[in-house]
Structure 1
Amino acid sequence: MAFHEIRFPANLSFGSVGGPERRTEIVSMTNGHEERRTPWAHSRRRYDAGLGLRSLDDVAALIAFFEARAGQMHGFRWKDWADYKSSAPSKKVSFRDQPLGKGDGVRRAFVLRKGYASGPSSYWRPITKPVTGTVLAGTGEVELRDGLDFEVNPATGVITFAVAPEDGAPVTAGFEFDVPVRFDTDRIAVSVASFQAGDLPQVPVLEVRL
Structure 2
Amino acid sequence: MAFFEQLFPPEISRDAEGGPRFLNSKAYGSSGQRVTNREAAYPLHEYRVAHPPKTQAEFESLRAFFYVVGGDADAFRFKDWSDFLATAANTTLKAVVGEANTWQLCRTYSFGTRMFVRPIYKPVAGAQVSRVRGGVLTVLPYAPDPTTGRVAIAGHQAGDAYVWTGEFHVPVAFKDPAAMWQVMGGEGLITHWTSIELEEERL
TM-score bracket for the superposition, by shorter chain length = 0.7 to 0.9
- Which residue is equivalent to 1:120? 113
Letter of the 1:189 counterpart: M
Name the structure with the higher strand share: 2
Q: Which secondary structure state, in structure 2, belongs to the residue aligned with residue 172 of structure 1? A: strand
State the one-letter code of the partner of 2:121: T
RMSD: 2.5
Contact 2:4/2:75 (8 A) holds in 1: yes
Of 38-47 and 197-206, the range deviating more from structure 2 = 197-206
CA displacement at 1:97 relative to structure 2: 4.5
Structure 2 residue runs of 5 or longer lacking an equivalent are none
Where in structure 2 are the equivalents of 1:36-185 lying within 5 Å?
36-51=36-51, 54-87=54-87, 94=88, 97-100=90-93, 108-140=101-133, 141-145=136-140, 149-161=141-153, 163-185=154-176
Aligned to 1:90: none
For the 8 Å contact 2:130–2:139, the answer to whether it is kept is yes
Kindly indicate whether the alpha-carbon contact (under 8 Å) linking 1:13 and 1:52 is maintained by their aligned counterparts in 2.
no
Task: Look up the equivalent residue of 1:9 and give its one-letter code.
Answer: P
Q: Determine helix, strand or coil for the equivalent of 2:194.
A: coil
Distance 1:53 1:183 in 2: 20
- 3-state SS in 1 of match to 2:67: helix
Query: Per-residue deviation at 1:120?
Result: 2.2
Any unmatched runs of 5+ in structure 1?
A: 88-93
Aligned-partner residue type, residue 167 of structure 2: E
Question: Normalization by structure 2: what TM-score?
Answer: 0.86
Alpha carbons of structure 1 residues 137 and 53: separation in structure 2 relative to 1, 3 Å? farther
Q: CA deviation at 1:57?
A: 2.3
Give the alignment's TM-score, normalised by structure 1: 0.83
**Number of matched pairs:** 196
CA offsets 1:97-134 (integer angstroms, 9 cap, x no match):
423259xxxx5321100111122222110000000013
